[in-house]
Amino acid sequence: MSLLSASGISKQYNGLAALSDVSFDVPSGQVRALIGPNGAGKTTLVGVLSGRIPPSSGSVHFAGQDVTTWPAHKRISQGMGYTFQITSIFADLSVRENVALAARRHQKSAAVVDAMVEEALLKTGLWDRVDDIAGTLSYGHQRLLEIAMGLAQTPKLLILDEPTQGLTEGDVEAFKRLIKSLRGEITVLLIEHNMDVVMQLADVITVLEAGRVLFEGIPTDVKANALVRAAYLGGGDAET
């Protein structure tokens, strides 16, 4: 059964189509990657899925419910978590306090919150920085902190928008281990420019081009597809 389903999603801005009839389904437990060249519509699609951008037409279903008209905070309360392409942390608070704030959205017990904070920071490799002020972290570690905040909300679906941007090679390896450890436990929608990361982590890849789904398949099929190579894989840069 699909945890997330987009059906016929279109979005126009002043008559220009950012998305045109985009449909795809993400089953529970899957790691799905969303890729495409600059201007393909990835950021707009993520905005529609997360409730930050209303679609011009089409529908979004999540966990068996039609959430098309739901605001972002209501989707979060039902188990949809996401991180932004630009970090969104509380710079003046400690790492622990940032993750605790996220955990408290769903848990009231201090003991449970503390346990969730520790688990999220251990998974992301930030436990040794638990008392550091978030704003003093490197950009890469701030990205990991945002992922820890997402995990602390115990999501059914975690949408990660360019999560390895700004990470060191070592941090990227830690991120890959993290996603592999979550496989089957949390459904992940990964919007990522690092194709090595995509090819190693994704169960299925959806390729967007000019606001439409160009191709969808397992990594080996995506890599071998001539249309994908021409539109994206052979075109160099993969920024959103």
- pLDDT, mean of residues 76-82: 90
Burial class (CB in 10 A: 0-12, 13-18, 19+), 98: buried
178-222 pLDDT per residue, tens: 999 998 889 999 999 899 999 999 999 999 999 999 999 999 999
Q: What percent of the chain has pLDDT over 70?
A: 95
CATH of domain 1-79+155-240: 3.40.50.300
Domain boundaries, the chain: 1-79+155-240, 87-154
128-179 pLDDT per residue, tens: 999 999 999 988 889 889 999 999 988 999 999 888 888 889 889 988 999 9
Q: Does residue 235 have a pLDDT over 60?
A: no
Q: Does residue 33 have a pLDDT over 80?
A: yes
Burial class (CB in 10 A: 0-12, 13-18, 19+), 121: buried
